[in-house]
Amino acid sequence: MAQAIELQKQRLQFEMVKNKIEAKSIHFSYQGVEILKNIELDVKEEEFLVLMGPSGCGKSTLLRLIAGLEQPQKGDIIVNGVSSTQKAPDCGVVFQDYSLFPWLSAKENIVLALKQKFKGKKTKKELQHLAGEYLELVQLGLSIKKYPGQMSGGMKQRAAIARALAFGSDLMLMDEPFGALDPLTRIYLQDLLLEINRDQKKTIVFVTHDADEAIYLADRIVMFSVGSAGTYTTSVDVPFKKPRNRKKMLASREFTRFREHILNIMNQGLIDNLEEQHEVGLDGEGI
Ligand SMILES: Nc1ncnc2c1ncn2[C@@H]1O[C@H](COP(=O)(O)OP(=O)(O)OP(=O)(O)O)[C@@H](O)[C@H]1O
Ligand SMILES: [Mg+2]
């Protein structure tokens, strides 16, 4: 009961804070193929929002739209009160393909982000020192001189995370950032990210396919499903108070039930989609 009241309090506190991101009636197509149709999404300041959904449903596309790297054909995305169609928002991004500059070492990649952040206010030596600290944070202290071509997938991912952190924005967009990591590094970085969200008051939008990771990290999970009328979303608050104890949470019956609930929503989306395809087949209009 106390837990439920505490959760309700946390949720009410969120509802009172400003929206960091407002995506309004977003329509987006690639070369005439509709990817996102009428998507609405609000993200509160300091919220940790996780996006889930089947491959190809448009999660990365939505992150690119929020970052101002693509423009919606219809609708608007407001970040910090400004339309991302007018000005690309200040945000740290970690994309699926890491997007490190291959001709720069791990350290130089971070220094570049720091240069953009401090705009001449720090000396070269200070920037180098700070870059080293960010790489230490993601346990890459021994690989600062390596170029992306000399790093494993997991190392590149960690360097990309360090760069996004170094950029210092209060908004982080992260597209499956821990997908290629070994379980121990993944756990370490999940906890680091929760600390950053809490202590540095960053708003985080994070994509994952892993339900356990989503539940451990998120304040709220938004699931994408693909129906005949286009992509739609279902938003679910995560009913576990933060800070969370990973071990206790994973062992609890509430966790098992909630996980099932999340997977049911995702599966229902897939089943609806398959049934729609089947109906078309029965009418003789399908394959
Ligand atoms: N540059 C592009 N040009 C044309 N189509 C694209 C482009 N990028 C993505 N798409 C298409 O847009 C759709 C959504 O892609 P997106 O990368 O957003 O999916 P996703 O939900 O992130 O998938 P995943 O979970 O596999 O990463 C896919 O059908 C994909 O083929
Ligand atoms: Mg993607």
Question: 30 C-alpha vs ligand 1 centroid, how far in Å?
Answer: 9
Which ligand places an atom closest to the C-alpha of 94?
A: 2
Position 287 scores a pLDDT of 42
Residue boundaries of the structural domains of the chain: 2-91+169-282
Percent of the chain with pLDDT over 90: 70
> For ligand 1, atom 9, which residue shows the shortest CA distance?
61
Question: 202 C-alpha vs ligand 1 centroid, how far in Å?
Answer: 27
pLDDT tens for 27-50 read 999 999 999 999 999 999 999 999
3-state secondary structure of 234: strand
Nearest ligand 1 atom to alpha carbon 54: 25
Q: Which CATH class is domain 2-91+169-282?
A: alpha beta
- In this prediction, residue 81 has a pLDDT band, given cuts at 50, 70 and 90, of very high
Ligand 1 pocket by Cβ (under 6 Å): 30-31, 35, 53, 55-61
Which ligand places an atom closest to the C-alpha of 233?
A: 1
- In this prediction, residue 102 has a pLDDT band, given cuts at 50, 70 and 90, of very high
CA-CA distance, 230 to 129, in Å (whole number)? Answer: 49
pLDDT tens for 215-267 read 999 999 999 988 777 788 999 999 999 999 999 999 999 999 999 999 999 88
pLDDT tens for 108-156 read 999 999 998 898 899 999 999 999 999 999 989 999 999 999 998 889 9
Cis status of the peptide bond prior to 54, with omega within 30 of 0: no
Question: 223 C-alpha vs ligand 2 centroid, how far in Å?
Answer: 13
Nearest ligand 1 atom to alpha carbon 61: 18
Contacts of 55 (CB under 8 A, 6+ apart): 209
CA-CA distance, 84 to 61, in Å (whole number)? Answer: 14
Task: Report DSSP letters for 172-189, one per residue.
Answer: EEEESTTTTS-HHHHHHH
pLDDT tens for 264-287 read 998 886 777 677 666 655 554 444
Position 244 scores a pLDDT of 95
Cα separations (Å) of 260 from 52, 206, 249? 14, 21, 14
